Amino acid sequence: MTGITRFVRGRGMDEVRPTSGAPAHGLVPLFPPGLQAIYGECRRLYPEQANPLQVTAIVKYWLGGPDPLDYISMYRNMGCPAQDIQEHWHYVSFGLSDLYGDNRVHEFTGADGPSGFGFELTFRLKRETGETAPPTWPAELMQGLARYVFQSENTFCSGDHVSWHNPLDNSESRIQHMLLTEDPQMQPVHTPFGAVSFLQIVGVCTEELQAAQQWNGQGILELMRGVKVAGGPWLITDMRRGETIFDIDPHLQQERVDQGIETEGSNLSGVSAKCVWDDLSRPPEDEEDSRSICIGSQPRRLSDKDTEQIRETLRKGLEFNSKAALPPINTQRQSHERPQSRKDSLESESSAAIVPHELVRTRQLESVHLKFNQESGTLLPLCLRGRLLHGRHFTYKSINGDTAITFVSTGVEGAFATEEHPYAAHGPWLQILLTEEFVEQMLGDLQELNTREETKLPKEYSWPEKKLKISVLPDSVFDNPLQ
């Protein structure tokens, strides 16, 4: 653990006391309704474990502590032998939803919408033989995800993936990334502060993450449910798992994943990434209307409307890297009412169409240079094959500033890039419209990026007739922009 949490025997509800930071509405109830609702659902599942082990923040987030989750309860789940579901530890978070209803953490907005961020996290970890107490490392993992949600104000939903790039328990395990799905046992609860659902973290190998990116998270989760050692029906994470679902059943890659990509495309509409773009058609000395976003330059801020539209493309499948917390895409919390199916459009839920901000005009560019780090570059084939060839769009949102690069196909509505002017910029947001013919050409030229193997950098690709250049550069270029 990090030294900022403690391990206790289920004292969470006893510890709730009035604080000077809470509004003066009289005494705070001993059992706040939001907290009580989640405990009630836990008691429904575990009536014999009314006093579970907990990890709790010593200094609560609402008192200036660094950990957003007030508590993580840990239960021993006996599984279900009839369904061949193994015994495991079940972790449940408290704090992403509104526990108190007094604005100490979350703004109270009424009972009809989501409570806080509208969800809590859960995790199921295989119980090892002889293990008498649950490992506590999953609590820190859940705190890390919660910190990302609070800092970025981007919520998760079922099917999302989390690129962690490190064994979840800091061991030598192959389980280094996560998918998110509905908890198979915990039912959504309704509190006076809104609704709360339960999203379960599922540990996955790199190959499974890549398949989820290129196809969709729900599809990979369904395949894992059918493989006992990969999770089974309840998607229980086994940190000792040494084989991917594709090692166990090689037919899954071609018959399910590859076929799914071919017929359905990818559900991943955007990632946070290390990326930058340059306007090569404007001389560097022209200061009148900056030549876009260059490494080391001061980026121009996105307008609220542009920001909201980029957020819409990123609502599914945000990339997440534990090495650096992602910055907020904007300062307004996004809607929790997510569409069940995607629109082939760049229109946000809150606007009918893109209307350029009156103080930042849209510019048509003659020639552009795109720069990505290796991880972002390896997603270019996915962007082209899994998205654009299916009439969709794909956005790279820089983690280092407001820069955004959106690739659009000719069938996407609401774009300000057109076939006549395929490169268009609105402040630091660049749109690139690619025809199907050019996409096919690029896929052939970028074929080596499909391997995901470490390659010697930098790599440069150029299409002079299209006035487009792409570079794949080392991380150090983006991490140390002034060097």
Per DSSP, the residues of 220-263 read HHHHHHT-GGGTGGGT-B-TT--S-HHHH-THHIIIIIIHHHHH
Percent of the chain with pLDDT over 90: 66
Contact (CB, 8 A) for 407 and 388: yes
According to the per-residue pLDDT averaged within each range, which of 22-26, 34-38, 284-288, 373-377 is highest?
A: 34-38
Predicted confidence (pLDDT) per residue in 310-332, tens digit: 655 554 333 333 332 222 222 23
Q: What are the two backbone dihedrals, phi and then psi, of residue 425, each rounded to the nearest 5 degrees?
A: -125, 140
Distance CA 335, CA 337 (A): 5
The predicted pLDDT at position 152 comes to: 85
For 249, other C-beta atoms within 10 Å of its C-beta total 16
If we measure between CA atoms, which residue out of 107, 90, 218, 194 comes closest to residue 153?
107
Distance CA 200, CA 109 (A): 25
For 311, other C-beta atoms within 10 Å of its C-beta total 24
Percent of the chain with pLDDT over 70: 76
If we measure between CA atoms, which residue out of 440, 388, 372, 379 comes closest to residue 214?
379
The predicted pLDDT at position 283 comes to: 63
The predicted pLDDT at position 399 comes to: 87
The predicted pLDDT at position 42 comes to: 98
Which helix (H) or strand (E) covers residue 218, if one does? helix 217-225
Q: Which pTM does this prediction carry?
A: 0.75
Bond preceding residue 381 cis, omega within 30 of 0: no
Which helix (H) or strand (E) covers residue 182, if one does? strand 177-182
The predicted pLDDT at position 30 comes to: 72
Pick the CATH number of 269-282+303-314+360-482 from 3.30.413.10, 3.30.1360.230, 3.30.830.10, 3.40.1110.10: 3.30.1360.230
The amino acid that residue 10 corresponds to is: G
> What average pLDDT score do residues 337-345 get?
39
437-454 burial, b at 16+ Cβ within 10 Å, e below that, comes to: ebbebbbeebeebeeeee
The predicted pLDDT at position 3 comes to: 40
> What average pLDDT score do residues 378-385 get?
93
The amino acid that residue 207 corresponds to is: E
Q: Enter the tokens of residue 242.
A: 């040494």
pLDDT band at residue 300 using 50, 70 and 90 as cut-offs = very low
339: left (phi over 0), alpha (psi -120 to 50) or beta: beta
pLDDT at 184 over 60: yes
Predicted confidence (pLDDT) per residue in 390-428, tens digit: 999 999 999 888 899 999 999 788 889 999 999 999 999
> What average pLDDT score do residues 258-278 get?
91
Residues of the chain with CATH 3.30.1360.230: 269-282+303-314+360-482
Predicted confidence (pLDDT) per residue in 70-86, tens digit: 999 999 999 999 998 99
Q: Which of 125-129, 327-331, 433-437 has the lowest average pLDDT?
A: 327-331
Give whole-number Cα distances, 242 to 74, 229, 239, 451, in Å. 25, 10, 8, 21
Q: Enter the tokens of residue 203.
A: 């540990």
Max intra-chain CA distance, the chain: 72
* Coil, strand or helix at 324: coil
Give residue 41's Cα distance to chain centre.
Answer: 26
Distance CA 176, CA 141 (A): 12
> What average pLDDT score do residues 29-37 get?
87
The DSSP output letter for 301 is P
For residues 195 and 306, the model is more confident at: 195
pLDDT band at residue 123 using 50, 70 and 90 as cut-offs = very high
SS (H, E, C) 415-479: CCCCCCCCEEEECCEEEEECCHHHHHHHHHHCHHHHHCCCCCCCEEEEEHHHCEEEEEECHHHHH
The predicted pLDDT at position 450 comes to: 80
Contact (CB, 8 A) for 160 and 217: yes
